[in-house]
Structure 1
Amino acid sequence: MKTVRAISLLIAVAAAPAFAQNAQQDVNRNINQQSRIESGLQSGQLTTREAARLERREAAVDKAESRAMRDGTVSATEQARITRMQNGVSADIRAEKHDAQTGNPQSASSQRMQADVQRDINQQKRIAAGVNNGSLTNHEAAKLENGQARTARQEARAGSDGHVGAAEQTRIQKNENRQSRRIHREKHDAQHHG
């Protein structure tokens, strides 16, 4: 019995760096893709509606990451699925940025979407830092990715008609503020990974 426990503990300790590495890679990829969406909005390569569709896809990736991390490990099958989803979003970003549609980066709607996407990038960076330095456990990171998915879905709904209104942005910002407080709380509680 002691041997089984020792082996289980050894496997858990050995798997922790692999999980952290996968989680770190996934969160860094999220940051990269959010940055590409924001740069597309800023350059006019993306319309608000296109950015909203991409945010919906990003929400699905965040949700898949959350589900995969929930049990503390990301299996090879789960990682392959997340990577496929991320590759699909990446291809969609490229296609949307290089199609014939152009947005007006100076419009109030685009400015609102740009601000929301930038906030997503900041939140993802904070999660990545917590995963990297061990201040976030696997379970905490999973909950936070679920919160990121919720925010991305809200942004997608707001921009689905091609316009993000001031009232819609206010609701999104309230959700982003709650998520920011969650990230702070989870990073500074007594639980640590590793």
Structure 2
Amino acid sequence: MTTTARPRPAEALRAAWSRVRASLPVATPPSYVEPLDDPAVAWQRRLDRVRAALEQARVDLVEQGWTQRAWFSVSSDGGAGTTRLASVAESFDLVRPTSSVSGACLVGALLRRAEDPDRATTHADVWGAVDELYEALHERMGHTFLPPGRVDSHARRHAKLGVLTAWNDDRRTRREDVLDVLDRAVSRTLVGACR
């Protein structure tokens, strides 16, 4: 007795369905990469973020106070409204915005903005603010300056940070001078965004 294998209906249906699926066009997989912005739009967004960081640092200096020769000043334990300069070890803890300071230097105010998790300011925004502050300082001193929005190398930015720190700590520098340089840097970002 010979038996012929007869295809079962379920297997025949699966085979037919597989042939139909194989003949259909394959959908392209979704792209998980954000589309690139127009370079001009991305540049303007960057300048807007830098401007916001500068404005926030200015508000902090006006509300909390300004200091020299240290990142931050804190209230003395003796009370009576006296303050003292924070040590280097203390400063690293005071960078967190939850800590209480009675004053900050120009660089300290920017650092507190970058470390605040409740703010949109990033480290890249703060480095951009350093670039703009450096050029605003040159402009204020009557030197030639570069156009807004320029991005420098990491080593050059560290040198700029050193210049800004030395200028902030100079005995001839006053609070009004620091606020003026911040205002000039904000103006630079506004002019740069209008191009």
TM-score (norm 1): 0.30
More strand per residue:
2
TM-score (norm 2): 0.30
Question: With CA pairs under 8 Å and 6+ residues apart, which has the higher RCO, 1 or 2?
Answer: 1
More helix per residue:
1
